[in-house]
Amino acid sequence: MDANPSTAMYPLHRCKTIYLVRHAQGIHNVEGEKDHSAYMSPHLFDAHLTPLGWNQVDCLHEHVKKSGLAQKIELVITSPLLRTMQTAVGVFGGENPVDGVSASPLMVENAGHSSRPAISSLNCPPFLAVEACREHLIENDEDVLWEPNVREANSSVAARGMKFIDWLWTREEKEIAIVSHSGFLYHTLSMYSRESHPTIREEVGKHFANCELRSMVLVDTSMLGSKSPTYNYPGRTPAGLDLPSDAGFG
């Protein structure tokens, strides 16, 4: 027999499924494709989605509903920037209220220059905005080390991304959607896949298209999670006439 199997097996309670999404097209993407330096413009740091971006959101929202994913996701984590929050709410937001049913809005009408109707919170998972999964950081102007044209190094983005993934193990949810940015996703996944088979490394490390969704299995290999297995059963035999067969052969 092969002593080095090509597959791996882990206890289910040490695994989570995460759904990684890059935000839809923002106005900064349009300008950046014309002139890459536009990405450093202070006026575009918190860009909103374009009309095409909202069309991308609608398409992914429909896919999430038809595939059944909308019923599986227990938590949506989003970068706190406008383009990611608009994408997260548009993709994973709630159903339209029906007669006699009311729900507070996740997004008010025309939020962020969207020209969109309000999006309900009805029958949708909770949302959480987390600074740790946003795009390259730029220090604020209260910091004495702040430089207006210096962005966080790629290696720092990757390290921040790995800490963020470790933090997910403090959450009880097993199926989590994360809406973030191209750079954050690329550098984080490249770091995680650096020792993988080249085929896996290529698949995991590809740049995300706008509003692309990828599903990944996250495995706790360092005992970060403390939850006990939900479905396991110890196999105890009730007292009876037959002797227990705990040792078992076959």
Instruction: Please give the structure tokens belonging to residue 150.
Output: 């210096």
- Whose tokens are 């900064």? That residue is 28
Cβ(47)–Cβ(27) below 8 Å? yes
Instruction: Give alpha helix (H) positions in the chain.
Output: 27-34, 51-66, 69-72, 82-92, 154-168, 182-192, 198-204
Instruction: Please give the structure tokens belonging to residue 71.
Output: 């019923």
Please count the residues of the chain. Answer: 250
∠ CA 204-206-207 to the nearest 5 degrees?
130
Contacts of 157 (CB under 8 A, 6+ apart): 136, 183, 184, 187, 188
CB-count burial class (<10 Å; 0-12, 13-18, 19+) for 222: exposed
Neighbours of 3 (CB within 10 A): 4
CA diameter of the chain:
81
Among 188, 179, 195, residue whose Cα is nearest residue 154: 188
Active site residues: 23, 135
